[in-house]
Structure 1
Amino acid sequence: MTRYALVTGAGQGIGYGIAKRLTDDGYHVYVTDYDEGLAKAAAAKLGGTALRLDVSDPQSVKDAAGKVPELSVLVNSAGIYPWSPLLEISVEEFDRVFAINVRGNLLCMQAFHRQLAADGTGAIVNITSMSALVPAVGVGSYAASKAAAAMLIQQAAIEFAPDGIRVNGVAPGSVQTEGTNRPIQDGEEPQKAAFIPLGRLAGPADIASIVSFLASGDAGYVTGQSIVVDGGFLSNTFALYRHATQPA
């Protein structure tokens, strides 16, 4: 029996890596993106179904949900990552970050709830960030949005549990994607990074493997959790501080 998964923001980067892994796991994947061209190109590679989906637009989400009769797994991966000091953030930019990174998750969880509940073992995995846990100069609106998205995971987990839907999250660290201006090519290893204990950046596949676990029956008793996938970066903050304060 065919099982279906839907991934938002799957035209490239982490979202595409997740869609690829779920395809390899045997799901038929709805590959969605606000850029219809990216969605179609990615779906063609994976043998999935392309859908244009702007998670910040309630009507776009509603229209997409109407085209998905069955669903076992929903992955909310769409997000934006603007750099702007707090004193320079405009109201419009702040609202857009929250509309995509937080409200978009909520709209999709609402819109696809019926299909996930009907599946009987539905799973939702939302992609947050290690920025939900630690501040960094210049990413205030992003960090605040991801902290809100992390709490939304816990709230949805307790409210959706009676419907048989598990809700979890993955919080990536530094991932090498189009967003870092150097996407990983097929067969290529992520670039080395001395500031990360495991010695390299993450690739989309590192995030996708955890999503695969959380979507599977092996995680059947796991809900309301967010797994940090950062190569040990957050555990190494004291060493980073010591290195930064050493005389040149």
Structure 2
Amino acid sequence: MTRYALVTGAGQGIGFGIAKRLTEDGFHVYVTDYNQELAGAAAEKLGGTPLVLDVSNPQSVRDAAALVPELSVLVNSAGIYPWSPLVDISVEEFDRVFAVNVRGNLLCMQAFHPHLAADGKGAIVNITSMSALAPAIGVGSYAASKAAAAMLIQQAAVEFAPDGIRVNGVAPGSVQTEGTNRAIKEGEAPQEAPFIPLGRLAGPADMASVVSFLASDDAGYVTGQNIVVDGGFLNNTFALYRHVTQPA
């Protein structure tokens, strides 16, 4: 029996990597993006179904949900990450970050809740960030939005459990994508990174493998978790401190 998954922000980057892995896992994937061309091109590569979906727009979310007859897995991967110091960020930009990164997750979880409940063992995986756990200069609004998104996971996990829906998160570290760094090409190894204990940046596939687990029956007793996938970076701050403070 075919099972269906929907991934937001799947036109490229982490979202595409997740959609690709879920396709390999046997799901038919609804490949969604606010950009129609990106959604169409990605779906064609994967053999999935393209959907135009702007997670910040309630009507767009409702329209997408009406086109999906059944669903087992929802992955909220769509996100934006403007670089702006808190002293400079405008109200409009701050609101836009939260509209996509937090409210978008909520809208999609609400809209697809009936589908996932009907499945009997539905799973939601929301993509957060290691920025939810540690501040960095210039990403204040993004970090705050991801911290809110992380708590939303815990809240939804408690509220949706009686409906048979598990809710978890994946918090990426530094990932090479079109939006952050030079994107990884097919078969290419991620860039080396000496201050990450595992020695390299991540690729979308590193996030996708954890999402695959959380979406599977193997994670049937896992809910309310936000798994950090950063190659050990957050645990290595003392080594970075020693490097920047030692004499040249």
TM range (shorter): over 0.9
SS of the residue 2:40 aligns to: helix
SS of the residue 2:87 aligns to: helix
Counterpart-to-counterpart distance in 2, 1:181 and 1:136:
17
Map of 2:109 onto structure 1: 109
Runs (4 or more) in structure 1 with deviation over 2 Å come to none
Q: Percent identity?
A: 86
Counterpart-to-counterpart distance in 1, 2:12 and 2:46:
12
Map of 1:197 onto structure 2: 197
Offset, 1:119:
0.2
SS of the residue 1:111 aligns to: helix
Q: Aligned pair count?
A: 248
Residue 37 of structure 2 corresponds to residue 37 of structure 1: yes
Bigger shift: 175-184 or 8-17? 175-184
Structure 2: gaps (5+ residues): none
TM-score by length of 1: 0.99
Offset, 1:242:
1.2
Counterpart-to-counterpart distance in 2, 1:103 and 1:74:
15
How far does the alpha carbon of each residue in 1:61-91 deviate from its partner, in whole angstroms, 9 at most, with x for none? 0000000010000000000010000100000
Equivalence map 1:38-57=2 (5 Å): 38-57=38-57
Q: Output the amino acid matched with 1:233.
A: F
Counterpart-to-counterpart distance in 2, 1:65 and 1:212:
22
How far does the alpha carbon of each residue in 1:176-208 deviate from its partner, in whole angstroms, 9 at most, with x for none? 000124111000010101110100000000000
Over the residues paired in the alignment, what is the CA RMSD in angstroms?
Answer: 0.5
SS of the residue 2:30 aligns to: strand
Residue 183 of structure 2 corresponds to residue 183 of structure 1: yes
Equivalence map 1:47-86=2 (5 Å): 47-86=47-86
SS of the residue 1:176 aligns to: coil
Map of 1:7 onto structure 2: 7
Map of 1:235 onto structure 2: 235
Counterpart-to-counterpart distance in 2, 1:4 and 1:173:
28
Map of 2:212 onto structure 1: 212
Whether contact under 8 Å (2:2, 2:27) holds in the other structure is yes
How far does the alpha carbon of each residue in 1:95-152 deviate from its partner, in whole angstroms, 9 at most, with x for none? 0000000000000000000000000000000000000000000000000000000000
Bigger shift: 217-226 or 178-187? 178-187
SS of the residue 2:247 aligns to: coil
SS of the residue 1:4 aligns to: strand
Residue 97 of structure 2 corresponds to residue 97 of structure 1: yes
Map of 1:224 onto structure 2: 224
